[in-house]
Amino acid sequence: MHTAREKAAFEAGIKLGALYHQWVGTPVSPLTAASIESAIEKSVGLQPHVKGISVRLDRDIMKPNVFGYSELQGLMLTVEIETRVDGEVCRARLRREGDYPMMEIVE
């Protein structure tokens, strides 16, 4: 049997992994980035055990293609998420660490 603390950590990890693989490749530009951030927050926020989520996209690494947009890359994502299971809280994040998008439990 898993503890509520372990379940909260699992929920945070599974949501970050799903978010990453669902949204990477989405067409984005500096003009649409805020709406993509909001859509990700609202979408993931609907899921069980999510108590808070913040998504920011690094507009500085958005390089437009010949059609004027970029594809969302994992390195563009900075995400902080809080999950709660039976009163136990997990705070986790996804952020750029060098040239790698790192997911980690913060608390």
**Which CATH number is 4-105 given?**
3.30.1300.20
At residue 99's C-alpha, the angle toward residues 42 and 74, to 5°, is 20
Alpha-carbon distances of 74 from 2, 16, 59, rounded to whole Å: 30, 11, 12
Task: Quote the pLDDT of residue 97.
Answer: 95
Q: Backbone dihedral region of 86: left (phi > 0), alpha (psi from -120 to 50 degrees) or beta?
A: left
Strand partners, 96: 101
∠64-68-70 over CA atoms, to 5°? 40
Query: pLDDT value at position 56?
Result: 98
Q: Where are the domains of the chain?
A: 4-105
How confident is residue 1, by pLDDT bands cut at 50, 70 and 90?
confident
pTM of the predicted model as reported, rounded to 2 decimal places = 0.92
Residue 5 binned pLDDT confidence (cut-offs 50, 70, 90): very high
Helix (H) or strand (E) holding 60: none
DSSP-assigned letter for residue 85: E
- The predicted-structure confidence for 24-46, as pLDDT tens digits, reads as follows 999 999 999 999 999 999 999 99
